[in-house]
Every structure is written in structure tokens, then in C-alpha cells.
């Protein structure tokens, strides 16, 4: 069972003392696992969601580069009867990190930056001002969590009300982050949102373009991810998209909040099932040694997918026995990707609720893990000889 979760949000938003709302739908009969493409994934997702008491869940399964099936179940908000749809957008949390690393690989390919580019190379005006530890920290170290940087910046919440544009915010963040003392020695592994924020800012400085626009122009456009964006999916607050939820008592409370945009490279992307199907299909192809036209060659994917240091973290991916995995949460959503080159499958699963403070007893983690297991079985039944 996978229980490790990479958090993006630094401070939980206050929920007050009111009791959360429980999911009170009758539990249907447990469906058969079935097999991928047989039209029953909706029943499987629905059962696991209701059994766990989650507002909504969604999943997509890719095999051999093709979306085989996708399904959704539940409601955009626990306090509404508006159902989710297969076109809805879902917050990805730290799954964004693999996108930032993919963007970096594309910029390396274009000759804009190198894996060995250091912070001092990009910010020479801060030499002698930044903590000396960071002078020679390389892009690759930032993206593999071996830069020594702290897990998070202590000033993140101050950016919620910043009057600066996003490039100005990231420049301010750089100036604040680089005078902090490191948390571990350079070369040691420490999962760091801050490292990804710095890496994104470096790409901005070298291109004169915001990280958001760089991701759109390079990754999203190349893969025709036309419905992906940034921040909460329900930006207008009118339930045209799902909202996130926090655990409250024995129920859930809807919280349509996110981190400040300055954290973007570490975890603010939202996306649809179809767009995520395209994204995981590309990485599945690359993991199997193939080129993806317009994106990266097989060799360039190998760079992204090769663990830099224990505990098996590559550039935006956890690597285990040749397979890739990552999950993410801004504490109000939980999303997960699994890519298995041996089975030639890739999975994306997400729920718009998270109770990560319960750790191994987390309902959302257990439900995502259970649905992952069912999808793998469905794929095995359909594609194994």
C-alpha cells in the first residue's frame, strides 16, 4: 500500500469548529473488477468512492499510448448535488513537479539552460549575498531534491496578497530563499517545494517568460493539453468545476483555496482526465525508450526518469523497479500517477478531498490506493496473455 504523500501546502486553512458533511449515499453492491475497456470502470470508481465517503473521484487508464478508459463519480462539492463530469478539471498538487522537470528538459534541448547551470550562473548579482551553499547548486540538484534547500519557504503565505506581478513575486522569493541557511548538506535528499520554486524562477529569468506561459507554450501545446491551467479549477467560485475538501470531524468541508501562484513550479497545475491521459502516455512512451515527437527523445526521457540518489527520486518522479510514481496534494485534493513500462500502462487517479493529517489512516490515500490496485487488475485482465 502506498502511503507516502508529497505535500504542497504549508499551512492548513482554518476550518472553524463546525462538523463536516458526510457522504450519505447508499453503498451499491460491490462490482466485479472487470477488465480495461469493458465499460464498467464507472461502477468500480463509484463503489470505491462511496465506500470511502469521498465527494468525488476520477481515473484514467492508458495502455500502449492510448486512453483505454476513464470515469468519474460524485459531486463537485460535498454541499451540492452538481455531479462531476469527465470534462472536469482536477488539481494536481505535486504532480506539477514532473511537468516542471519535463519543461526543464525541453529548455535544455533548446539550449536555453543546462542541467549543470547553477543558481549563481543565473543570478550573478546575488553572488556574495546569497548563502554560499547555494552558489554552485545545479538545476539538476534542485529538481532531484538534493540541493540542500529547505522543504518550504517560511514566507509563502505573504504572497497571497502581493501587488507584484508573478515574475516580480518569484524574484522576491529568490532573494528571500537564497539567504536562508540550508536544511541539509548539498547532495543529500530532502523533498523541497522551495527547490522547485527556485528552478522555475531560473527558467523565467533565462527566457524572460513566466513559468506558467513557458509550460503552456512548451508542454501543454506540444501535447495538445488544451484544458490544463493553474490554481483552483473553480476559479469563479460557481461550481462550474470541482472544489477541494478538508476533513472535518467525521465529514468534509469544501475549501476552494490554493497556494499562492509563486509556488507554481512545485504544485499549482490543474488538468482534465483527457489531458492527463496524454501526459502520462508521453512519459510511458519515453520510459519505454521511445521518442515523443516535438517533446523529447528516448534518451532525454531517460535523464528525467533516472534516480539521482536514494530514496529513488529522479527528476519529478519516484522510481521503483523501473516504474514511475508520484502523488500530490495541496491538502484539499489528492492525485496520483503510476507508470509501469513492463505492463505498458499508465494510471492517473484523483479525488477532490484529502485527510492527510491522518497519515496511514487517511481515507483518501486508502481509496486512491485501492482504485490503483483495481485499475492494475483491470489492465492485467485485458492485456496480459
Q: Return the number of other C-beta atoms located less than 10 Å from residue 377's C-beta.
A: 15
Domains recognised in the chain with CATH numbers: 41-91+214-383 (3.40.710.10), 99-209 (3.40.710.10)
Rg (CA), the chain: 20
Contact 336, 318 (CB under 8 A): no
Residue indicated by cell numbers 505535500: 7
pLDDT at 7: 53
pLDDT at 3: 39
pLDDT in tens, 308-323: 876 799 999 999 999 9
pLDDT at 19: 81
Contact 285, 223 (CB under 8 A): no
pTM of model > 0.85: yes
Instruction: Identify the sign of the CA torsion 337, 262, 193, 178.
Output: positive
pLDDT at 45: 98
- Our CA dihedral for 291, 293, 296, 298, rounded to 10 degrees, sits at 0
pLDDT in tens, 73-123: 999 999 999 999 999 999 999 999 999 999 999 999 999 999 999 999 999
Contact 44, 371 (CB under 8 A): yes
Pairwise CA distance, residues 295 & 143, whole Å: 19
| Peptide bond between residue 311 and the one before it cis (omega within 30 degrees of 0) | yes
| Residues of the chain below pLDDT 50 | 1-5, 9-17
Amino acid at each position: 500500500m502506498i502511503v507516502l504523500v508529497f505535500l504542497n501546502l504549508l499551512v492548513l486553512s482554518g476550518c472553524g469548529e463546525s462538523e463536516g458533511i458526510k457522504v450519505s449515499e447508499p453503498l451499491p453492491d460491490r462490482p466485479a473488477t472487470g477488465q480495461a475497456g469493458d465499460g464498467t470502470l464507472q461502477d468500480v470508481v463509484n463503489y470505491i468512492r462511496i465506500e470511502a465517503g469521498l465527494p468525488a473521484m476520477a481515473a484514467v487508464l492508458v495502455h500502449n499510448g492510448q486512453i483505454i478508459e476513464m470515469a468519474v463519480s460524485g459531486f463537485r462539492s460535498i454541499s451540492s448535488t452538481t455531479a462531476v463530469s469527465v470534462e472536469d478539471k482536477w488539481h494536481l498538487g505535486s504532480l506539477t513537479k514532473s511537468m516542471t522537470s519535463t519543461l526543464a528538459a525541453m529548455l535544455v534541448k533548446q539550449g536555453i539552460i543546462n542541467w549543470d547551470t547553477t543558481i549563481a550562473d543565473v543570478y550573478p548579482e546575488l553572488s556574495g549575498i546569497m548563502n554560499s551553499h547555494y552558489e554552485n547548486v545545479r538545476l539538476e540538484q534542485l529538481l532531484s531534491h538534493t540541493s540542500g534547500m529547505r522543504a518550504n519557504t517560511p514566507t509563502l503565505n505573504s504572497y497571497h496578497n502581493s501587488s507584484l506581478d508573478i515574475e516580480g513575486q518569484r524574484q522576491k522569493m529568490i532573494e528571500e530563499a537564497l539567504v536562508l541557511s540550508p536544511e541539509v548538506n548539498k547532495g543529500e535528499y530532502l523533498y523541497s517545494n522551495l527547490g522547485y520554486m527556485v528552478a522555475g524562477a531560473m527558467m523565467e529569468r533565462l527566457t524572460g517568460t513566466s513559468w506558467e506561459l513557458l509550460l503552456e507554450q512548451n508542454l501543454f501545446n506540444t501535447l495538445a493539453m488544451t484544458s490544463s491551467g493553474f490554481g483552483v479549477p473553480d476559479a469563479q467560485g460557481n461550481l462550474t468545476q470541482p472544489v477541494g475538501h478538508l476533513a472535518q470531524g467525521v465529514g468534509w468541508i469544501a475549501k476552494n483555496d490554493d497556494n499562492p501562484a509563486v509556488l507554481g513550479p512545485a504544485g499549482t497545475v490543474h488538468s482534465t482526465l483527457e489531458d492527463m491521459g496524454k501526459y502520462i502516455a508521453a512519459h510511458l512512451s519515453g520510459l519505454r525508450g521511445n521518442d515523443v515527437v516535438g517533446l523529447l527523445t528516448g534518451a532525454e526521457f531517460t535523464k528525467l526518469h533516472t534516480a539521482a540518489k536514494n530514496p529513488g527520486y529522479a527528476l519529478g518522479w519516484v522510481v521503483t523497479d523501473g516504474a514511475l510514481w508520484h502523488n500530490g496534494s495541496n491538502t484539499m485534493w489528492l492525485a496520483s500517477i503510476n507508470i509501469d513500462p513492463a505492463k505498458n500502462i499508465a494510471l492517473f487517479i484523483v479525488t477532490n478531498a484529502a485527510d492527510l493529517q491522518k497519515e496511514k489512516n487517511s481515507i483518501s490515500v486508502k481509496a486512491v490506493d485501492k482504485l490503483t490496485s483495481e485499475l492494475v487488475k483491470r489492465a492485467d485482465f485485458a492485456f496480459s496473455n
